[in-house]
Structure formats: structure tokens, C-alpha cells
Amino acid sequence: MRQQQLSIAAFRACPEQVREASLHHLIGIGLKVASTLVLMVMAALMKLLSETVPVGEVMFARSFFALLPLSVWLTWRGEFPRALRTRNVRGHVLRGGFGGLALASYLVALTYLPLPDVTAIQFLAPLLTLALATVLLGEVVGIFRWSAVGVGFIGIVMILWPYLGQGWSSADAGAIGALVAVMAASLTSLAMIQVRHLTGTETTGSIVFYFSVTCTVLALCTLPFGWAVPTPREAALLVTIGLIGGIGQILLTQSYRYAPASVVAPFDYTAMIWSLVLGYLMFGDRPVAITLAGASIVIAAGLFVIWRERQLGIERARQRQASPPPV
């Protein structure tokens, strides 16, 4: 009650500032939703090409052509090439390595599984990141967030059950796709841990740019294993995948400029909506009930973690304000 009265008083005291902050939050949310839609369209196009174009070739297009909109964006902001200066080359290589392997695994999973199923399994990544942060970053995670991680894993088991519930066989395409999708989520969580390291000294532009560069180099390493000469239609789709991938990254980055992570992060899960729509329209995918139920549980667990971290952030801010200044 007291907090509500203070919020009302603050609004009356400075309504213009409050309205401006609310507008910025709405813009941030809009950019976040747009980024999830753009990146899911990119994923659908990659799946569309997966049957005729090698994974390494798709990965190259996704990374190389993304550099164009990223470079234009950094130039427009007056940050190119200044934003590309780095103090941590090793950190960028590690982030690019984990992220590149995650992207490759994600592409392989798309060749075996429906788009909504792969998307649902990827929601494992934030939960794994939270768990790994306790080991690799020394972060303290309380019982509430650990409980959410445990519940999220139950949801992942439900999603995987149609593919692994009857055992695993190397001839079972669904089982292979499910295991590779879990690998992609695990590698993504390692990449996100590395991003947390980099944000202390590196610009957002450099993190995104060098990720694309590293993935481009990794993709070129697959050239000796055979790339296909694309048809004009395939070539157009490959270029489109890279361009909209870069645009999606820009929209994602800009969303965090307008609103705090606690405000925009929950809208990551709109990706499930887009994947269901695109999967049905483009591939006729119809997820089974247990997959949808598992995805709902994982999303609920992820949202709880976001809410809990926001509450802890508010508590820490209050403690800092309440502590006496140093003498």
C-alpha cells in the first residue's frame, strides 16, 4: 500500500517523466517482439533450405551477410570502427566458438525436428545459464530460482518424450534431432555466460560483430566437406537469411536501450507463438499436446526466474539506498 502511494505521488510530481519512461518501455517491448518475429522468420527460412543446402553453407550466409546491416548500423551511430576496438580477443573467440557451435547444432536440429519443437527446446538455454552462472561466475542462486530450474527441466523432459521416450536409436531422426537441439541449448548457455564476461569491458556492437566474424570463419572450415552451388532462389534466400539475421540482432540490441532487461526479457517467449504460426503455415507442423504442455511449463519457469531476478534487483537497490554513506 505504501509503495502504491509513493508511485502515485511520483506520477503526480513528475507526470511527463513517468509518461516518457512508459513510452520508452513500450518502444522497447515493440522492438523486442519485432526481433523475435524477424529471427523466427530467419529460422523458418533456414529450415526451408536445410534439405538442399549444407549446414555450413547456411551458417556462412547467416553470419557473413549479417555483417552488412551491422556495419551500416554502427556507422549510422557514429561507432564504426571505434566500437570494434577490443580488450579481450580471447573472450570474443570463446563466445564466437560456443555461439558458432550452438548455431550449427541449431541448424542440424531444424533438419530433423519441427520448428516449434526446436524453439521450445531452446528455452532450456536461460535455465542452464542460471545454473552455470553459479559454477562459472560464482553467482548466488536461491532456492526459488533453483526450484524454477527444476520445474523447467521437467518441461524439457515432456518436450523430449515423444522423441526419446521409447529409447534412442541412431536410425531415429527424431531422437537425433532432439539430442542435437539439447546440445544447441547447452552451447547457447555457455555462449551467454561468456557474453556476461564480455559486457564488463566490450561494447554491444563489438560483441555482435565479432560473433558474426567468428561464425563466418567457422563456417568456411566446412567448405572442403562440400558446398552446393545454390540455385538463384536458394542464393536469394541465403542472402535474405543473413540480412534479416543482422536486422534481428539490431532490433534486439535496441530493445534493451529503451527498456530494462526485466521489462523486455519476458517477450522472448513470443518466439513460441511465431514458431507455431510459421511452422503451421510453411511446413504444416502440428505439435502434439505433450510438447505444448512441456513448452508452457518451461516458459512459466523462465518467466518466474525473470520475475524473481527483478525482485532481487529491487531489494538490492533498496539496500543500497538504505545503507549509510561511507565516512
Query: Average per-residue pLDDT in the chain?
Result: 85
Q: Is residue 135 part of a domain?
A: yes
pLDDT in tens, 249-266: 889 888 888 887 777 888
Which residues fall within 8 angstroms of residue 34, CB to CB, at 6 or more apart? 251
Cell numbers describing residue 285 = 507442423
Name the amino acid, one letter, at 286: R
Q: How far is CA 157 from the centre of its chain?
A: 21
Q: Residue 162 and residue 175: Cα distance in Å, rounded?
A: 9
Q: Is residue 106 part of a domain?
A: yes
Q: Residue 306 and residue 145: Cα distance in Å, rounded?
A: 9
pLDDT at 318: 67
pLDDT in tens, 101-157: 999 999 999 999 999 999 999 999 888 888 887 777 677 777 888 888 899 899 999
Pseudo-torsion of CA 175, 181, 186, 189, nearest 10°? Answer: -160
Q: Is residue 4 part of a domain?
A: no
Q: Residues 26-48: what's their mean pLDDT?
A: 93
Q: Is residue 221 part of a domain?
A: yes
Q: Is residue 238 part of a domain?
A: yes
Number of domains in the chain: 1
Q: Is residue 180 part of a domain?
A: yes
Q: Residues 181-195: what's their mean pLDDT?
A: 91
Domain that holds residue 98: 30-322
pLDDT at 317: 64
The pTM is what?
Answer: 0.85
pLDDT at 287: 84
Say yes or no to pLDDT of 93 above 60: yes
Q: Residue 251 and residue 267: Cα distance in Å, rounded?
A: 13
Q: Is residue 21 part of a domain?
A: no
76 to 71, 81, 206, 246: CA distances (angstroms): 9, 11, 15, 15
Q: Is residue 46 part of a domain?
A: yes
158 within 8 A of 294, measured Cβ to Cβ: yes
Cell numbers describing residue 134 = 553459479
pLDDT at 239: 97
Cis peptide before 260 (omega within 30 of 0): no
Say yes or no to pLDDT of 320 above 80: no
Q: How far is CA 246 from the centre of its chain?
A: 13
